[in-house]
Amino acid sequence: MAAEGSGRAPIIGVTTYLERAQQGVWDVRAAFLPEQYLTGVTDSGGIALLLPPQDPDAADAAIAGMDGLVLSGGADVAPELYGEERHPLTDPARVDRDAWELALFRAAERRRIPVLAICRGLQLVNVARGGTLQQHLPESLGTEKYRIGGGVYAENEVEIAEDTPFADIIRESDMTVHSYHHQGIDRLGEGLVAAAHSDDGLVQAFVDTDGGHVVGVQWHPEENAEDRRLFADLVSQARAFAARRKESAR
């Protein structure tokens, strides 16, 4: 639903996986995304459109009609993209998804389209900006607390940094988040500022300082239906972006 007097609801592109799917007699690769991402957008007043991996050359045309972008979670970003050898426990490369989402993010950057990057999405943005990742946190940090397995999200506390736009979104000094990851940020990419940490020093959120609206979180906000602050912020930013685009087209 659009806010009163604001015209149509903003259109938010959400990236998806290509995964094997079985339904009845069918066993095929299909675009897949947990419903929680969609409801995160729609509950916050946006319209969600799926963006499955495809030819990266199509990314600019795909993003041109969007008012916002969600880079969703999923398999590990290929370490070859940040110049490191593959750890034995790093997921097999998803070349199609890495290439597609990097192209989408860069197209969104050029157009100043607001971005919310979730878990893998945060890691992908960091790599796109020249940063690096820790490939296996149980080895580098000595903790399993971020991925307890079995499809169960771990709950962890994060501390919010003051004096960043992220603090204005959350309006709390700390919060409990839902985690499911075994990788994390090592060196922050260019133009990104840490906006939240966990008690072991791992960057849990960042914001962009290069003039665009990019928010990345290492956790899964879509899993908390009681807290839509990050999705609501994205939809609000997307609505403002759409208004500016409409005005500039006059």
Looking up residue 212, the CATH number of its domain turns out to be 3.40.50.880
Examine the residue annotation and report whether 101 is marked as an active-site residue of this protein: no
6 domain-assigned? no
4 domain-assigned? no
The reported pLDDT for the residue numbered 2 is: 40
74 domain-assigned? yes
33 domain-assigned? yes
Strand 17-23 relative to strand 26-32, pairing? antiparallel
Q: At what angle do helices 35-42 and 229-248 cross, to 10 degrees?
A: 60
pTM summary value: 0.95
1 domain-assigned? no
3 domain-assigned? no
The reported pLDDT for the residue numbered 4 is: 40
5 domain-assigned? no
Q: Exactly one of 109, 182, 220, 223 is catalytic; name it.
A: 220
Task: Give the domain range for residue 213.
Answer: 11-248
Contact predicate 133/126, CB 8 Å: yes
Handedness of CA 28, 34, 35, 39 (dihedral sign): negative
Domain count of the fold of the chain: 1
Examine the residue annotation and report whether 182 is marked as an active-site residue of this protein: no
Mean pLDDT per segment of 10 residues, for the chain of length 250 residues?
A: 60 94 89 96 98 97 96 97 97 96 97 97 98 97 95 97 94 96 98 97 94 94 97 97 87
65 domain-assigned? yes
180 vs 125: CA distance, rounded Å: 18
Examine the residue annotation and report whether 162 is marked as an active-site residue of this protein: no
Q: Exactly one of 109, 119, 213, 223 is catalytic; name it.
A: 119
216 vs 222: CA distance, rounded Å: 13
Q: At what angle do helices 120-128 and 95-111 cross, to 10 degrees?
A: 70
